Amino acid sequence: MAAGLSNALKTARHRLPSAAVRNYSIPVQQSAWGPATCGASGLDSSSGRAAPLFKSHNTPPVIHSFTQQTRFQSFTQIRKMSSSNSRRLNIDNINPHVRAAKYAVRGELAVKSEEFRAALLRGTSDIPFSQVISANIGNPQQLDQKPITFFRQVLSLLENPLLLEHEDVLINHLGYKTDVIERAKWFLKNVGSVGAYSASNGAPAIRQHIAEFLERRDGFPANWQDIYLSAGASSGVNTLLHIICADEKSGILVPIPQYPLYTASLSILNATCVPYLLDESKNWGTDINTIKESYQKAKDAGVDTRAIVIINPGNPTGASLSEEDIRAVLEFARQERLVVLADEVYQTNVFIGEFISFKRVLRQLQKENPDGKYDCVELASLHSISKGMVGECGHRGGYFELVNFDPEVQAEIYKFVSIMLCAPVIGQCLVELMVNPPKPGEPSYELYEKEYRGIYEGMRERANALHKAFEQMEGVECGAPQGAMYLFPTINLPPKAAEAAAKEGRTPDEFYCMKLLEATGVCVVPGSGFGQKEGSLHFRTTFLAPGTEWVGSIVKFHKEFMDQYR
């Protein structure tokens, strides 16, 4: 690669949000680092039993605490070990692209919160709170959300089909409705054992039902053969980026703020992230001129931008795009021949505005333009069982639909997913249940509808309560809850706080979030983990946690923090 281009790429990359590499730390127990120098045996030679290096731990996980001081001590300590041993792999010779990847959602704060949780379980008394609230990640069932009964009843029969030999017991003693039993039989006939591999791109019968769902949702036909089941949407994103990115010049437009899956995956692939800022002043919508500017800058720097990522509704922002914004993006994609990656996993988590799919608008544009000028716009849209009212993220299910993709490229996508064999089959079944839930009049409908509505209303109420609290907090600005599972308030912190943060080698938002965790047990993610406009500070919190006590503790903490640093 020419030096000029190489420098240009560096520049383009430099524009990336400084998603905190320092946010990331080591999830291992301190004692495991003890006598780990190599060359001196860690084994008691008489028994083969080990010194602490090999010690078997039956106690709950104790994760090393990273206060600022011990953190750097620990790194120094590890470093010393690494350089004095003769292991083949060390931090300086492993894959540099993995090393460069940043993923703050499960970074230092998350690790520390788990440490607090373990300490509370052990009954440690000097912790100023009684529970840890994991508001850092959209993990509904870890918090209050109950799974939907119909879904889980069907899955119980798929896991143990022998139960179907006792239909009377299921119905008369266990409250299973007949449609639960019928659905389970349909799966067993059309998908087979959930313990067997399916086709690499997913069970055909399930893909057909997804296509029917998309037809109902969008009012346009869908082809089941263009649908690929995946282990959550993350796995789908991984597949698509692997196909699209050919080399380090390959660029992908990514919204800022963004869910860091995108920047982390691009880092691992050694491709180029081309960031474009969302417009906070317009409810975090897309601004087509901003996108065009980012694209042009990257082009001038020699980047071969190939695709644009849109997260709609937004993560971390919750914003739903208007049809006008979607049209503008599709028109731009057409002009510049960009693949559109529409991450639509929050499509049912909408409180303000409405969800409009990219597929629907693209088909509408095709319909309005019989000259066929939109027929070559390639769209991949992703959905998931992890979010919405389903909230089954532990089951790792999702799918993506390809529109207007080249058949030869699709064959390569099929090959790529076949190397990992197939998505978890029980997760595939949950995708089917999500897109094909009980219908009005069917025996399980009433309960399903009640549970679904209850989850939706519960989320909205908690979002509003949290929003109300933020409105009372000095220096905090937060628009009304729009959707997804998150609020992403701006925090205006006093200069003294920024100074204290700098002393600890942290950004002010990281510093604030760490202090919040240490004081209240509430774990949130600093805005720097998603990217934010220079000079602005945010944090992302889910509104999934039940109760109001934790919200009160945030308000109290914030007041004390401001008093201390004002």
- What single-letter DSSP state applies at residue 438? P
Burial class for 372, CB neighbours closer than 10 Å (0-12, 13-18, 19+): exposed
Based on CB atoms, which residue is closest to a copy of itself, 136 or 482? 136
What is the Cα–Cα distance from 234 to 382, expressed in whole angstroms? Answer: 9
Indicate whether 120 belongs to the interface with a copy of itself (CB under 8 A).
no
Residues 45-64 that bind a copy of itself (CB under 8 A): 45, 48-50, 53-58, 60-61
With vertex at residue 351, the alpha carbon angle to CA 347 and CA 357, rounded to the nearest 5 degrees, is 30
Among 5, 26, 447, 465, the residue binding a copy of itself under the rule CB under 8 A is: 26
Minimum distance, C-beta of residue 439 to a copy of itself, in the bound complex (Å):
18
Among 249, 396, 506, 558, binds a copy of itself (CB under 8 A): 396
C-beta closer to a copy of itself: residue 108 or 344: 108
Residue of 128, 154, 126, 35 whose CA lies nearest to 85: 35
Determine which residue in the list 113, 136, 198, 272 makes contact with a copy of itself, applying CB under 8 A.
198
Torsion of CA 475, 541, 17, 230, to 10 degrees: -160
- 129 touching a copy of itself, by CB under 8 A: no
Residue with smaller CB distance to a copy of itself, 3 or 419: 419
Q: Which of 405, 443, 445, 458 binds a copy of itself (CB under 8 A)?
A: 405
Give the whole-angstrom CA distance, residue 362 versus residue 344: 15
Record the tokens describing residue 452, joined without a space. 């679904």
Q: Who contacts 232 (Cβ-Cβ below 8 Å, separation ≥6)?
A: 384, 385, 386, 393, 396, 397, 398, 427
Q: Does 93 bind a copy of itself (CB under 8 A)?
A: yes
Residues 320-339 that bind a copy of itself (CB under 8 A): 337-339
Q: Is there binding between residue 299 and a copy of itself (CB under 8 A)?
A: no
Shortest spacing between CB 510 and a copy of itself, in angstroms: 17
Task: Tell me how far apart the alpha carbons of residues 453 and 340 are, in angstroms, rounded to a whole number.
Answer: 32
Tell which one of 18, 404, 436, 536 touches a copy of itself (CB under 8 A).
404
Q: How far is the CB of 139 from a copy of itself (least distance, A)?
A: 5
Neighbours of 89 (CB within 10 A): 9
- Residue 114 interacting with a copy of itself (CB under 8 A): yes
Put residue 59 in one of left, alpha, beta given phi > 0 → left and psi -120 to 50 → alpha.
Answer: beta
Distance CA 10, CA 246 (A): 17
Count of chain residues binding a copy of itself (CB under 8 A) = 152
Looking at residues 489 to 528 of the shown chain, list those that interact with a copy of itself (rule: CB under 8 A).
Answer: none
CB nearer a copy of itself, residue 159 or residue 549: 159
What distance lies between CA 42 and its chain's CA centroid?
40
- Report 225-264 residues binding a copy of itself (CB under 8 A): 225, 231-232, 234-235, 238, 242-246, 261, 264
Q: Give exposure, 447-467, as e/b (b: 16+ Cβ within 10 Å).
A: bbeebbeebbebbeebbeebb
Binding mask 71-90 for a copy of itself (x = CB under 8 A): -------xx-xx--xxxxxx
Q: Which is nearer to a copy of itself, 91 or 480 (CB)?
A: 91
Task: Mark residues 144-183: x for contact with a copy of itself by CB under 8 A, - for none.
Answer: ---x-x--xx-xxxxxxxxx--x--x---xx---------
Contact status: 436 vs a copy of itself (CB under 8 A): no
Binds a copy of itself (CB under 8 A): choice among 415, 439, 453, 503: 415
Contact status: 378 vs a copy of itself (CB under 8 A)? yes
CB 12 within 8 A of CB 297: yes
Instruction: State phi, psi for 126 to the nearest 5 degrees.
Output: -95, 30
